Amino acid sequence: MARKCPTCGGELIQNPKNPAYLLCTNCNKNYKTPSNNGSSNSKKNLRKQRFASIAKQKSMQLQRFVQTVRKSKAAEY
């Protein structure tokens, strides 16, 4: 299946100078090649993953703190 140019509808081929781009045969415009692995490498997703792991660590720390406080309170009574 040949890809079509979004501007003119011409055929897109791989750019010989830069394989990360597709080149339109009619209007000579370059278009970024879509990645096969989705958007897992985008900066936004990487940032989300980083902060998600930090939030998970903080949550686990808070749970451990609450458990120790409960144990110490139970030991007092």
Q: What value does the mean pLDDT take over residues 7-28? A: 89
Q: What value does the mean pLDDT take over residues 11-17? A: 90
Do residues 26 and 5 make contact, with C-beta atoms less than 8 angstroms apart? yes
In the numeric block, which tokens belong to residue 5?
A: 């140019």
Are 6 and 28 found together in one domain? yes
Q: Between 54 and 4, whose confidence is greater? A: 4
Are 26 and 47 found together in one domain? no
Are 45 and 66 found together in one domain? yes
Are 20 and 1 found together in one domain? yes
The number of beta carbons lying within 10 Å of the beta carbon of residue 3 is 15
Task: Give the pLDDT of residue 37.
Answer: 55
In this predicted model, what pLDDT tens digit does every residue of 42-67 receive, in sequence order?
Answer: 777 777 777 777 777 788 888 889 99
Question: Would you say residue 17 has pLDDT above 60?
Answer: yes
Total structural domains within the chain: 2
Residue 23 structural domain: 1-33
Give the predicted TM-score (pTM) of the model.
Answer: 0.43
